Structure 1
């Protein structure tokens, strides 16, 4: 199922930049890791992106519910969003941008492919990709409108799913954007936001042990490898029975 949600040939414009980290938090639960810079907003299709994004969240939610805790409470997940700039020679293979040197060519060919369908009224077009959660997502704009809808869906369908959201190495331009979308979050959710500067001690990620924290963030765990963490996540999702 991961391939159907992430890959351009199945879900064009998904531009997924976050996924299962392949590591565990202190509760033994998977946590999410993301790298914003591997997403190309110009190529993003909001409907397809939200469909893939909620798939990732849903897989985490299912794991948490199935596990539970001895006290009867459902554990919560953590999310690390890496805001570090990409290396100058970086070529994405598996993440949002994908296709390495041919990224622009491939995305222009696949992005928002619309085709008329003979079986429906004249003038109506079919959207290529996975069907969205809501019909309104077809006309949703990328950028802040898409982010706002993602926040609404997360807090409505998965309330209290996340324990902590770490924003790693945020650049200056991120803070104004953060000021906007944080207003869309509930007060309890805003308390879960945390900023971690590059070079900080691994203890700043208080819900994750250093052995399970990526070397990218100062831990001793597996490296994210640019966008290789997305490849690992796709393989995990594909192996699961859904």
Structure 2
């Protein structure tokens, strides 16, 4: 009788546990694929990031109870702990906590006072262990937004082919061998309503304004409307190149 009662109680206990949503392992790097997909349509880059952001990448380590995220400018680290109903909570020093959960193949960041609900997918991008947080998102974004060959329709090197690599290298654009897209932060404040990127040759480089319309990419010289004691206020000057995506 006692054995039967013990088995009955065990069945009830296990049944109750089965009804509780399990805490799935969320360890790994998760990127904001919705923002990447929106950008890949060939429109304004910053608009896509703002619409589906602000956070771009999460790096989660359940064994160390740590979770980090970046919005393209800040890199914030918090303490990770399991809550009820399969939810993970990330507590940040001096700011409100964030709730994370897994739905299907997506990591869901719950809506909060400052941020909307956002979704992330596991990154498939290969990065080095010492690469900074956000590298996975940036590589995936560059591949989707600028990947493939571009033909120079006008400007220096007209008729040539330009290639932007996910790692930030640039070939085929005369006088330039590296680039970086402005995602957020000071560069975004300086360019205001315009998208901007940094073009570089060796140790020398400069900000440029660009406009993406479908398969066409226009790159402009960046002029500064600010006073000497003010933050730069960049706006498009002379159009330097027009590129057309070939695939």
Scaled to the shorter chain, the TM-score interval is under 0.3
Larger-gyration structure (1/2): 2
TM-score when normalising by structure 1: 0.25
1 or 2, which has the higher helix percentage? 1
Q: TM-score, normalised by structure 2?
A: 0.25
